[in-house]
Amino acid sequence: MAQQTNDRMDRLVSLCKRRGFIFQSSEVYGGINSCYDYGPMGVELKKNIKELWWKSLVYERDDIEGVDASILMHPRVWEASGHVEGFTDPLVDCKKCKMRFRADQIDTGKNCPNCGGELTEPRMFNLMFKTYMGPVEDAANIVYLRPETAQGIYVNFHNIREASRQKLPFGIAQIGKAFRNEITPGNFIFRMREFEQMEMQYFVKPGSDEQWFEFWKEERLKWYERLGIRKENLEFHQHSEKELAHYAKAAFDIQYKFPFGWQEIEGIHNRTDFDLGRHQEYSKKNLQYFDQEANERYIPYVIETSTGVDRLMLTTLADAYDEDQAAGETRVVLRFDPRIAPMKAAIFPLVKKDGMPEIAHNIVNGLRKQFRVFYDEAGAVGRRYRRQDEIGTPYCFTVDSQTLQDGSVTVRNRDSMAQERISQDKIMDYLVERVV
């Protein structure tokens, strides 16, 4: 069983490279551990996931605003947030083979799981990447690459509230890069050192936090259905007292059933007034909110929803990956929800003559103003379908001899492989109804 799941993961990783979703970073130099580049199909998938998240929070609600804060922030931010002191993992080394492990992931009472050698005592290792601002490399110039995007939201809370004239409860959403010097990155793009987060901080009146926590838990789980993830592959995991981050009063993870087991894809946290309270203390600026209705001042509580774009890429790829039998051979197909499919449609002339390529090009030119579409005239139509199945294109339109007579084309559905005829004038409407 374990072998089967590993094989499945290997086949997915190989498809990702072959079809231009994901490449090892700096591959020509032998690669760099846990860093990946997104190819032509990968960037489209990533963009579509981010757009769906942004749309559902910022466009479809009137109580959430967007922000794009800088990655480098004042170093005091990370002292206030508790990351300088507490964003650590316990690290042990094997004295023999020099492999490194997270002490909380192995039995440190035993010897090295790799070679049986003796292990060092655990020591705490801070996960933040450090660099220097300006030419002088001294302690006064240390800056950190942000390990979460959330702090850029907290320090902008009052700027955004004033500029947008929002009243509590309201939220701020952000998509951006985060960096963690993970001890054990791995499982392809599951745990990386450079990754992208999509975080939303919802500011509420203290006392209403538990109700909003429940609200966002349910909302976020529902969102995964929009992403096209199968329900049976999702579950909540409640954090025990021991698992809770230093800032959280309560936390639930949404977990996905990856080929390598159930793992977190999103965290929903009740961060109380911890972050704004600490920024008020460290910055000595008043960060209270004046509640006009109640005529009182307080530090808002925060309900956070936090997920990783790369981790959702892996989730959508793993959930969509399928193999079935078609025409006596194994068909590899990515059954993406059409809304996140990187390529929305492919257009084929059946043959390279009789004006069919010209008609197909005209169709492509009309569609490409709105959608990422692909023109393909190379090889047998069956092979062209297979190539599109592998990247998850939901619809293929073929121009054939009947098109020359009545202007209709065939539409072939990726999942059912069923074909129907529609008028070529209706292709745009057909796609708008199904892929937007």
* Interaction site with ligand GAP (CB under 6 A): 148, 150, 180, 182, 191-192, 195, 197, 199, 264-267, 304, 306-308, 310-311
Q: Return the number of the residue (176 or 308) whose C-beta is nearest ligand GAP.
A: 308
Q: Return the number of the residue (244 or 381) whose C-beta is nearest ligand GAP.
A: 244
Q: How far is the CB of 193 from ligand GAP (least distance, A)?
A: 7
Q: Return the number of the residue (93 or 310) whose C-beta is nearest ligand GAP.
A: 310
Q: How far is the CB of 33 from ligand GAP (least distance, A)?
A: 12
Q: How far is the CB of 335 from ligand GAP (least distance, A)?
A: 22
CA-nearest of 129, 171, 169 to 34 is: 129
Q: Return the number of the residue (192 or 334) whose C-beta is nearest ligand GAP.
A: 192
CA-nearest of 396, 417, 389 to 350 is: 396
Q: Return the number of the residue (195 or 336) whose C-beta is nearest ligand GAP.
A: 195
CA diameter of the chain: 79
Q: Return the number of the residue (204 or 356) whose C-beta is nearest ligand GAP.
A: 204
* Residue whose CB is nearest to ligand GAP in the complex, by number: 308
Residue type, 247: Y
Q: How far is the CB of 172 from ligand GAP (least distance, A)?
A: 13
Q: Return the number of the residue (249 or 434) whose C-beta is nearest ligand GAP.
A: 249
Q: How far is the CB of 222 from ligand GAP (least distance, A)?
A: 17
Q: How far is the CB of 247 from ligand GAP (least distance, A)?
A: 8
- Buried (b) or exposed (e) across 200-237, using 16+ Cβ within 10 A? bbbbbbeeebeebbeebbebbbebbeebbbeeeebeee
Joined together, the tokens standing for residue 52 give 């769906």
Q: How far is the CB of 121 from ligand GAP (least distance, A)?
A: 25
